[in-house]
A and B are shown apart, each in its own frame.
Chain A
Amino acid sequence: PFPREMGWCHTLAAGTLLIFSFSCRYMYHVLTKNTTVTDHNRNLLVETIRSITQILIWGDQNDSSVFDFFLEKNMFVFFLNILRQKSGRYVCVQLLQTLNILFENISHETSLYYLLSNNYVNSIIVHKFDFSDEEIMAYYISFLKTLSLKLNNHTVHFFYNEHTNDFALYTEAIKFFNHPESMVRIAVRTITLNVYKVDNQPMLHYIRDKTAVPYFSNLVWFIGSHVIELDNCVQTDEEHRNRGKLSDLVAEHLDHLHYLNDILIINCEFLNEVLTDHLLNRLFLPLYVYSLVNQDKSCSIRDKCSFLSPVILNGDLSVFSSKSEQDVQKNSAKSSIRCFIKPTETLERSLEINKHKGKKRLQKRPNYKNVGEEEEEERGPEDVQEDLDKAKGTECSSKGVKTSGESEEIEMVIMERCKLSELSISAVTEQNTTDEEKSAAASGSEISNWNRPFLDMVYKAVDCAEDDYYALFVLCLLYAMSHNKGMDPFKLERIQLPAYHAEEKSSYNQVLAERLIRITNYAAQPDGKIRLATLELGCLLLKQLVVSKSGSIIKDVHLACLEVRIISGLFFLKGEEIFLDMFEDEYRSMTIKYLMMDASILLPPTGTPLTGIDFVKRLPCGDVERTRRAIRVFFMLRSLSLHLRDEPETQLPLTREEDLIKTDDVLDLNNSDLIACTVITKDGGQVQRFLAVDIYQMSLVEPDIARLGWGVVKFAGLLQDMQVTGVEDDSRALNIIIHKPASSPHSKPFPILQATFVFSDHIRCIIAKQRLAKGRIQARRMKMQRIAALLDLPVQPSNEVMGFGHNAASMSQHLPFRFYDQARRNSNDPTVQRSVFASVDKVPGFAVAQCINQPNPSPLSSPSPPSSGSGSTGHCDSVTASSASTPSATQSPSGTKSLHLAHNPVKNPEIETANLSPSLIPAQQPTISLISNDNTDALSVESLTLVPPVEPHSIHAFSCVPPSSLPSDNCTATEEDGSCRSQPADDDEQ
């Protein structure tokens, strides 16, 4: 079929070709007849141009002979002719659109060559359109962009003329680099990047020699102006009113930095050279680094810098390692003109003159100086001030006097080291290195702290007894420096700031470590003014500082200083129900993203949520937030402390997925309380299930066909998130909703179960309700106990609540549920079964109890059976067993209960194996119902979870029962008390 189809296609194509070549001729005719555009023929012309485009595209895809005709007749001449007649925007727009479409859709290189082969496209590019018309502007720049996407080593020759030094596509495009319309600016950036990407040496040389200086100096100026505006915005901010504008400016600035990064990673060596030279000497040094000296003012800019780092992170500029002393020399020689200066000519003019180097005169100084000084007055003495005086002295002299003496050099080194490195242009750092080496060699001594004012200042700023406004920036900076791939590890080594991937280290920067530790200490204090973001970054840095591949190398002294305990008074809501939910919710929502891209941190820290600033980036407001904050601080410090001690986290999160009963788990429900019910879901579905309540969860099971007395979990949900309500007109029914807590701040909690449970009678219903309600309370209490132990909160006299006083040892074998997951389902080997729980050598809950009882327990050191080890499920269960059992003994309303439940667990396996007859309907029979209906009802509330010690007489009771009816006595009392009317076996009972 294939060849035939092709043939058919071919015929069709031939047919269309005929039509097309006919219409081509017709259109040619139209064009020749209408060389002058008038109101009357305008539409006809536009239509003709459009049709020609369509035919050309068809030709590109089907038959290139169309192009011959097009070329032969010089159709582009007509286009140009039409354009040049000032034929109005309508025709202009149509023509540009047509050209767009044409170049966008031509896919064959040869077709493209055809179109480009005369210089007409370049003539169209340089045509003076009416750029004040936004539509023409948009179509024009899109046209250039489309062309730039077609650039490669071959096609570039159609645009760049080596002999005339013309590259209209590029030079015309960059004239719009600061166009007020953002989409136009973006298009210009795209075009430039597409040009730089083409690896054509003559073209790139042209770019560098004739255009790079004008373009880059203007670009740098443009960026710098934005930074100044941004800074003004921060400075003049009152009451955070500038936030909207600020975030736009920050985004804009980030765009610029991304753009610079994109240029740099194209890795065109000599372009990068010019660019980094401009960046360094006209932007980073004069505007960013020097401004650092005036501590206050720099803040905005400083963290700008920090922004920068992650941005340019990937800047792989190894090329620059080849840079030699000579470059450095050049650089330091130039240091006298390290000013942020506006280029004297407009870009356009510079391009025209093709000046290699536009003269930069200090015509005005819109640089940091002005801003900085008034700032100083405004802010007065900042803690850093004294320290900086010296620095400023040298700094000023270096600038003012323009000597490049030794002192200046060192100064530069330091500055660069502190600041520039984070600017993360490794070109810069590369230069630093050499610079530094040189100066180091010259001075012949180590650079001591004495002449490291910038570094000092950085460290000083980490100190945040008052607030962490600056500290956050510095931490960002340090973090960015250490994470920047472009940074030379050696350089970081000098300030003992290890790169995050550093393999080995034997010592660490103690000064910094101590300051970081101090941050953690402040954070743990009642009135600590540390924002969560600051703390988190501090913790990250500290970990990075002292943890190497082989483990933590932190000194004990320092470790001891780490404060993990939080004054319990900080947990304002600790007594309230909501505390547990908050605790778990906060645990889920840790981690801060995109910190440095957020404009809001530029403004002084604030406490009120009314600003719309993220919780983690401001101080808490009100008790709820203060509690949240305290909880988070606790999590971070705990994790930090564990990490530094190389200890695993065993306590958190409180509920671990893997410890929970999941759908399709198979549980051993022998001895468990089960209540039969009909579950009616919202959409009207109805299923028969048995309701079982475990420590933390309630589950709906159906009998396991393979094993009697076992059940397959069809649904499991956390008791703590459950709501139970009665149904008004049906005393046998309950409405049950279980919400899954939101996993991220963006998602809402949604109900994983929303159903009506209908029980066989209202007694069963009440039992279920009680059991669930109690279970919920128990589950929450359990968790609260664990939290209390973790947080070192005073515990309410809870012995009887949790029953720790109970001899739990005897309990450990009576696990409420024993379950296997799917994988283990087939193993009948009792030893396997045992082994799951075999690890219960320590009494679960006991440890926690101990914690609680100790006056000053260290949460870290307390073994935490519930979640440790592989048999964690078993542990978990056993905790319940032990804890839950107590209430029954001590506080259960009806004292009779405990007997009820007591089956002989030990016997179960035997019985089970003995009685097993899989063909029988499993477990439905209410064996014991005759014996003690009343009793069971009364006692049942806790029965599921509580497994009291085996009592002889209860065993008795049971042993008499089995003969009566049931295949297994593992359809225990529970089974009986919950058995539903709907089961066929019910009749027997009666």
Chain B
Amino acid sequence: MSYAYLFKYIIIGDTGVGKSCLLLQFTDKRFQPVHDLTIGVEFGARMINIDNKQIKLQIWDTAGQESFRSITRSYYRGAAGALLVYDITRRETFNHLTSWLEDARQHSSSNMVIMLIGNKSDLESRRDVRKEEGESFAREHGLVFMETSAKTAANVEEAFINTAKEIYQKIQQGLFDVNNEANGIKIGPQQPAGASSGAGAGSRHGAQGSGDTSNCC
């Protein structure tokens, strides 16, 4: 289970925008949303590969803890990346982005990479927020933008990985102090040789995912 870096992410946004589903979709594809089941999870980890480096992503969903100021505050500070999620079928979730962003900027380190995500892109017919609006919000606030669907998995992979790429880039540019774990980045333990076999939760999923889901039905 060796990795070059570990990046900690948080997912923020209004309730019901599909944060935990996105997380699960990314970390464990075997939970395909079948039978209209919406399944989510509050924590997940997965290995990805950037630039031939193994990078572990640890993603923490902050849902349900908003009532405690101390908790949100600390979460923001300890993360290197944040996915700011809204629901394209509910305008109010888009309208609340500003205050989420303000919170994030206030508490996080200035280097935190924030990706804006318009989720539920599969529900085109019920769309309430145009894609251009998301784009222009992102442009205005210097975020990366993407529309995803936790249900169909569209762009989910990209959202997480692109965020990681940007963090990685910032590390290369020396913007992140990787020795300071308070930034949400950790350097991996010394690489034990040949440990790669059993480990890769991520790589495993890809292969098994489709087959398994069909089995269980």
Partner-B contacts on A (CB < 8 A) = 16, 19, 23, 43, 47, 50-51, 54, 57-58, 61, 89-90, 93, 97, 100-101, 104-105, 135, 138-139, 142, 145-146, 149, 182-183, 185-186, 189-190, 193, 244, 248, 251-252, 254-255, 258-259, 261-262, 594
Q: Within 8 Å of chain A (Cβ to Cβ): is B60?
A: yes
Closest to A182 in B: B78
Nearest CB of chain B from residue A37's CB, rounded to whole Å: 13
In the complex, which of the residues A19, A43, A193, A251 contacts B68, with contact meaning CB atoms closer than 8 Å? A193
**Given A54-B37, A58-B35, do A100 and B69 touch, yes or no (CB 8 Å)?**
no
How far, in angstroms, from A54 to B30 measured CA to CA in the complex? 10
A-B contact pairs, 28 of them (CB 8 A): A47-B30, A50-B31, A54-B39, A58-B37, A97-B28, A97-B44, A105-B39, A105-B40, A135-B1, A135-B45, A139-B43, A139-B45, A142-B42, A146-B42, A149-B64, A182-B77, A183-B8, A185-B74, A189-B70, A193-B71, A248-B180, A248-B182, A251-B77, A252-B182, A254-B73, A255-B70, A258-B70, A259-B70
Scan B52-95; emit 1 where CB is below 8 A from any A CB, else 0: 00000010100011001111011101100000000000000000
Interface positions, chain B 92-131, Cβ under 8 Å from A, are 106
Which chain B positions have C-beta within 8 A of A182? 74, 77-78, 181-182
**Given A90-B198, A101-B24, do A54 and B216 touch, yes or no (CB 8 Å)?**
yes
Closest to B45 in A: A135
Mostly helix, strand, loop or mixed at chain A's interface? Answer: helix
Which chain A positions have C-beta within 8 A of B208? 43, 47
Is B217's CB under 8 angstroms from A19's CB? yes
In the complex, which of the residues B24, B65, B78 contacts A183, with contact meaning CB atoms closer than 8 Å? B78
Q: Within 8 Å of chain A (Cβ to Cβ): is B158?
A: no
In the complex, which of the residues A16, A135, A183 contacts B60, with contact meaning CB atoms closer than 8 Å? A183
Is A57's CB under 8 angstroms from B37's CB? yes
Partner-A contacts on B (CB < 8 A) = 1, 8, 20, 24, 28, 30-31, 34-35, 37-45, 58, 60, 64-65, 68-71, 73-75, 77-78, 106, 177, 180-182, 198, 201, 208, 212, 216-217
How far, in angstroms, from A258 to B69 measured CA to CA in the complex? 7
How far, in angstroms, from A261 to B73 measured CA to CA in the complex? 13
Which chain B positions have C-beta within 8 A of A259? 70
How far, in angstroms, from A19 to B34 measured CA to CA in the complex? 13
How far, in angstroms, from A439 to B180 measured CA to CA in the complex? 50
Closest to A51 in B: B216
Is B77's CB under 8 angstroms from A255's CB? yes
How far, in angstroms, from A23 to B216 measured CA to CA in the complex? 7
How far, in angstroms, from A16 to B34 measured CA to CA in the complex? 11
Is A104's CB under 8 angstroms from B20's CB? yes
Nearest CB of chain A from residue B124's CB, rounded to whole Å: 21
How far, in angstroms, from A58 to B208 measured CA to CA in the complex? 21
Closest to B182 in A: A248
Is B74's CB under 8 angstroms from A97's CB? no
Rank and list the top 3 A-B pairs by shortest CB-CB distance, nearest first.
A258-B70, A142-B43, A259-B70
How far, in angstroms, from A261 to B74 measured CA to CA in the complex? 14
Nearest CB of chain A from residue B139's CB, rounded to whole Å: 13
Closest to B8 in A: A183
How far, in angstroms, from A2 to B181 measured CA to CA in the complex? 55
Nearest CB of chain A from residue B150's CB, rounded to whole Å: 13
Is A186's CB under 8 angstroms from B74's CB? yes
**Given A50-B31, A101-B24, A190-B65, do A244 and B41 touch, yes or no (CB 8 Å)?**
no
In the complex, which of the residues A61, A90, A135, A248 contacts B37, with contact meaning CB atoms closer than 8 Å? A61
Closest to A266 in B: B68
Is B69's CB under 8 angstroms from A186's CB? no
How far, in angstroms, from A186 to B107 measured CA to CA in the complex? 15
Is A186's CB under 8 angstroms from B41's CB? no
Closest to B199 in A: A90
Closest to B32 in A: A54
How far, in angstroms, from A142 to B75 measured CA to CA in the complex? 13
Which chain A positions have C-beta within 8 A of B42? 100, 104, 142, 145-146
Nearest CB of chain B from residue A981's CB, rounded to whole Å: 39
Which chain A positions have C-beta within 8 A of B43? 100, 138-139, 142, 145
Which chain B positions have C-beta within 8 A of A43? 208
How far, in angstroms, from A251 to B181 measured CA to CA in the complex? 13
Is A101's CB under 8 angstroms from B74's CB? no
**Apart from A54-B34, A105-B38, A594-B106, 16 more pairs, CB < 8 Å:** A50-B212, A54-B216, A97-B41, A100-B43, A101-B24, A101-B31, A105-B40, A135-B45, A142-B60, A145-B43, A182-B74, A183-B78, A186-B71, A190-B71, A193-B70, A259-B70
How far, in angstroms, from A104 to B31 measured CA to CA in the complex? 14
Nearest CB of chain A from residue B112's CB, rounded to whole Å: 13
Which chain A positions have C-beta within 8 A of B30? 47, 50
Is A251's CB under 8 angstroms from B212's CB? no
Closest to B71 in A: A190
How far, in angstroms, from A101 to B43 measured CA to CA in the complex? 9
**Given A139-B43, A261-B69, do A186 and B180 touch, yes or no (CB 8 Å)?**
no
Which chain A positions have C-beta within 8 A of B28? 97
Which chain B positions have C-beta within 8 A of A93? 201
How far, in angstroms, from A50 to B24 measured CA to CA in the complex? 13
How far, in angstroms, from A488 to B169 measured CA to CA in the complex? 52
Which chain B positions have C-beta within 8 A of A16? 35
Which chain A positions have C-beta within 8 A of B180? 244, 248
Which chain A positions have C-beta within 8 A of B65? 190
**Given A23-B216, A90-B198, A182-B181, do A104 and B74 touch, yes or no (CB 8 Å)?**
no
Which chain A positions have C-beta within 8 A of B1? 89, 135
Which chain A positions have C-beta within 8 A of B31? 50, 54, 101
